[in-house]
Amino acid sequence: MSQREVRIVFMGTPAFAVPSLRALLQLGEDGVPAARLVGVFTQPDRPAGRGQRLTPPPVKEAALAAGIPVFQPERLPRAEALSLLESVSPDLIVVAAYARILSPRVLDLPRFGCLNVHASLLPLYRGASPISAAILDGVKNTGVSIMRMEAGLDTGPVLAQASLPIGDDDTTGSLTEKLALLGARELAVIIQPWIAGSIEPRPQNEAVATVTRPLRKEDGRIHWGQPAQAIARQVRAMFPWPGTSTLSEGVILKVLAADVAPCPEPASMAPVGAVAQRHGEPLVATGDGTLRLARVQPAGRKAMSGAEWLRGSPAALGGILGEPG
């Protein structure tokens, strides 16, 4: 193998990718053979917030702070974007939540291939929303996989994996932060052995593979006929985006935190979606069990505890949450 410097390009966009970026920045300080991050590709700045101000992605901010050149092509398959990538001459491409499918020409470009930091224990939860899907399913553990990318969706052979328990109060937001750090740690461990040729990737077992799709706003709509356990997991899985919501007296009520009530109250004969209270806190009848609304946000108001909401909306007590009819 040539002893010349290994040139690494990183591709990523959201906060999940930032720890992996920082792990690669560290390589140049003590890596053998010498490895250096020479460029970062990320998504274009997008409008965000109430004012829809053009906002740079977290990876761009972290890369610029470290003095790394940043490229923001709209789509890599375009000829000009590919030429831009070729001009950087990457020996290795590392991807973490870039939000684009790489073309075969890009995958074949670097001599050490393209590696992806994926937030699941592959072949489980391939695709766009592995963290939310794991919480929704109620599994006890998830993790990260470092895989060599190929043309299929997260189908490439795995270089390394590490697992992590899912806490009872973990949301997609909190679990994303944990997995981002875990993925960066695993990346830092395997990157030099991979360059040295001492890692043999392990093929995935297609027989047990599962695939996730991107989340949509309607995934956050609460259907009270579901079991309380399932709704509680939905609230956690959809936080912070798209969030979960229902209708109360015809007005949107965001449910920010909820858990299964320890007692089977209100009575099982209560209509699905019926609101009762215990110790001043709102309880909602579901298809199986009762859900306590711990934190909510009524339309046009700030977030508040369920008890605060009930005190300010006494008409909700005894009412029915959800779509009419």
Residue 323: inside a domain: no
What's the CATH number where 252 sits? 3.10.25.10
User: 185, 212, 239 — which closes off a domain?
Assistant: 212
On the question of pLDDT at 172 being above 80, the answer is yes
Same domain, 245 and 268: yes
Q: Which two tokens stand for residue 34?
A: 């010498």
Q: How confident is the model at residue 220 (pLDDT cuts 50, 70, 90)?
A: very high
Q: How confident is the model at residue 130 (pLDDT cuts 50, 70, 90)?
A: very high
On the question of pLDDT at 264 being above 90, the answer is no
Q: How far is it, in rounded angstroms, from Cα 157 to Cα 153?
A: 12
On the question of pLDDT at 1 being above 80, the answer is no
User: 174, 190, 212 — which closes off a domain?
Assistant: 212
Q: What's the structural domain count of the chain?
A: 2
On the question of pLDDT at 31 being above 60, the answer is no
Residue 98: inside a domain: yes
Please compute the mean of the pLDDT values over residues 161-170 and round it to a whole number: 97
Same domain, 228 and 205: no
User: 186, 212, 238 — which closes off a domain?
Assistant: 212
The pLDDT value recorded for residue 82 is: 85
Same domain, 223 and 80: no
Range of the domain at 65: 6-212
pTM: 0.94
The pLDDT value recorded for residue 51 is: 83
Mean of per-residue pLDDT scores for the chain = 93
Q: Which two tokens stand for residue 73?
A: 């092509």
Residue 325: inside a domain: no
Q: Which residue pairs, CB below 8 angstroms and at least 24 apart, start in 43-48?
A: 43/13, 43/72, 43/98, 43/99, 43/100, 44/72, 44/74, 45/72
The owner of tokens 């890009």 is 106
On the question of pLDDT at 315 being above 50, the answer is yes
On the question of pLDDT at 324 being above 80, the answer is no
On the question of pLDDT at 99 being above 50, the answer is yes
Q: At what angle do helices 58-65 and 18-30 cross, to 10 degrees?
A: 20
Same domain, 237 and 184: no
On the question of pLDDT at 33 being above 80, the answer is no
pLDDT (tens digit per residue) in 40-72: 999 999 988 778 899 999 999 999 999 999 999
